[in-house]
Amino acid sequence: MNALLADEPADAADEPHHDAVARAIALLVERRDDPPDLATLAAEAGLHPHHFQRVFSRWVGISPKRFAQYLRLDHARRLLSVQASLLDAALDTGLSGPSRLHDLFVTCEAMIPGDWKARGAGLVIRWGVQSSPFGRCIVGVTDRGVCWFSFVTGDEGAAVAEFAGEWPGAELVRDQAATATVVARMFAPVGQRPPLPVLLRGTNFQVKVWEALLSIPAGMVASYGDIAIAIDRPSASRAVGGAVGSNPVSVLIPCHRVIRASGILHNYRWGPTKKQALLAWEAGLTGAEAA
């Protein structure tokens, strides 16, 4: 049996309080300029405030109040200014650091040119539409690793068609159980995340950029210029932006950790609020200091 799919944990969507946490995250993001208090969030979830706080903290890694602090726009700007030296060290170490990929729970394999040009010929991709704490998502997984992860923010059919269009030569098999396992592992509570392999399909330049994204530690951000310098293409910030935007395995390959040098969170495929939520979640997981 594929090790990626074996010994699967409980499906995140089946956890009794998963939806309550997802709704709370959405509400905190929506009202980030005037965040609701604990009592309001608990009432929305139908739970006692103390119980809700424990449930939220288990899933997200921090309290709702702390999460709201990480949602502030100036948090990302502050990360760029005060953690520059730490980021430089992380990017310099890159994928050669012995603990880097272990820390990020991701192992990475790029397709060889022949496989890349075949656009999935000979591959069986199990896919499904799942729920996550940050909204609906489409997941594709092969025996070699996760090859697709995207959020669904509009028409689900169009999102599925986009996924299928990227792999015209592959055999696509709808498999809700297998993809639920992947999502459960991606968004499991702190301390319950086994490593996940990722299979990347892209040009040499794109893969180089995506590998550099893996070098940005969770809880930190980098600018497009930082990534360009890290891959020894300092004048290629615009091309880096294109590669970041075409990342096929979002979240696992953390394109959300790249922001403009000004600290602005635009240019995320699913909108700046989702990007803010992901950054806040990771900041909570790593214990980063809130702005």
Which of 1-15, 106-120, 133-147 is predicted most confidently?
Answer: 133-147
Give how many domains the chain has, as a whole number. Answer: 2
Check whether residue 26 and residue 132 sit in a common domain: no
> What does the alpha-carbon distance between residue 260 and residue 246 come to, in Å, rounded to a whole number?
17
Domain assignment present for 228: yes
Check whether residue 138 and residue 282 sit in a common domain: yes
Nearest CA-CA partner of 212 in 111, 288, 100: 100
Domain assignment present for 135: yes
Confidence of residue 268 (pLDDT cuts 50, 70, 90): confident
Check whether residue 108 and residue 237 sit in a common domain: yes
Check whether residue 127 and residue 248 sit in a common domain: yes
Domain assignment present for 50: yes
Check whether residue 131 and residue 268 sit in a common domain: yes
State how far the alpha carbon of 243 is from the alpha carbons of 57, 162, 200, 258, 279, in Å: 34, 17, 12, 11, 20
Confidence of residue 114 (pLDDT cuts 50, 70, 90): low
Long-range CB contacts (< 8 A, 24+ apart) of 205-212? 205/239, 205/243, 206/243, 206/246, 207/110, 209/240, 209/243, 209/244, 210/108, 210/243, 210/247, 210/249, 210/253, 211/94, 211/95, 211/108, 212/91, 212/94
Residue 164's pLDDT is what? 95
Domain assignment present for 89: no
- Residues facing 125 on adjacent strands: 172
- Average pLDDT, integer, range 177-194: 81
**Least confident interval from 139-148, 184-193, 249-258:** 184-193
What is the pLDDT of the chain when averaged over all its residues? Answer: 81
Check whether residue 166 and residue 29 sit in a common domain: no
Residue 259's pLDDT is what? 87
- Residues facing 141 on adjacent strands: 126, 146
23-50 pLDDT per residue, tens: 898 899 888 888 999 999 999 888 999 9
**Amino acid at position 213, single letter:** L
Check whether residue 31 and residue 116 sit in a common domain: no
Confidence of residue 88 (pLDDT cuts 50, 70, 90): low
Confidence of residue 234 (pLDDT cuts 50, 70, 90): very high
pTM above 0.85, yes or no: no
Domain assignment present for 95: no
State how far the alpha carbon of 26 is from the alpha carbons of 34, 46, 199, 228, in Å: 13, 16, 30, 33
Residue 215's pLDDT is what? 85
Q: Is the pLDDT of residue 107 over 70?
A: yes
- We report the CATH number of the domain holding residue 226 as 1.10.10.10
Residue 227's pLDDT is what? 92
**Least confident interval from 260-264, 276-280, 287-291:** 287-291
Check whether residue 269 and residue 212 sit in a common domain: yes
- We report the CATH number of the domain holding residue 27 as 1.10.10.60
Domain assignment present for 98: no
Check whether residue 75 and residue 128 sit in a common domain: no
Check whether residue 74 and residue 111 sit in a common domain: no
Domain assignment present for 118: yes
Tell me, yes or no, if 255 is annotated catalytic.
yes
Q: Is the pLDDT of residue 54 over 60?
A: yes
> The domain containing residue 224 runs over which residues?
103-290
At residue 51's C-alpha, the angle toward residues 33 and 284, to 5°, is 50
> What does the alpha-carbon distance between residue 163 and residue 168 come to, in Å, rounded to a whole number?
9
Confidence of residue 243 (pLDDT cuts 50, 70, 90): very high
**Least confident interval from 9-23, 58-72, 182-196, 200-214:** 9-23
Check whether residue 163 and residue 117 sit in a common domain: yes
**Least confident interval from 217-221, 233-237, 247-251:** 217-221
Check whether residue 70 and residue 212 sit in a common domain: no
